[in-house]
Amino acid sequence: MVRHYLVSGRVQGVGFRWFVHREAAELGLDGWVRNLQTGEVECVAAGSEAKLEELEAALRKGSRGSRVDRLQIHDLVEAEGEKLGPFQIEGAW
């Protein structure tokens, strides 16, 4: 399965991307996470439904110092997952 996540709230400047990276990597998911100019964090992850549900629970909880007000989830076509490699943070360097 491949899912797109859009996280709103206090999710920039609080280590949220690093938190998502750690959670997703521990779950063995492929994909990426990045900040958006709108102040939201965007994420695409590919893996089993069970592993994605674990990631979603972590996204809803958020990192220490963050506040998640809204989590939007969209299923993507499986072909989107073929382009993804090991989970990474985009725009972090």
Catalytic residue numbers read 17, 35
Q: Which CATH architecture has domain 2-79?
A: 2-Layer Sandwich (3.30)
* pLDDT given at position 91: 80
- Cβ(89)–Cβ(21) below 8 Å: yes
pTM of the model: 0.93
**pLDDT surpassing 90 at residue 93:** no
pLDDT-based confidence at 89, cuts 50/70/90? very high
> pLDDT per residue over 32-72, tens digit each?
999 999 999 999 999 999 999 999 999 999 999 999 999 99
Please name which of 85, 93, 92 lies closest in space to residue 24, comparing C-alpha atoms.
85
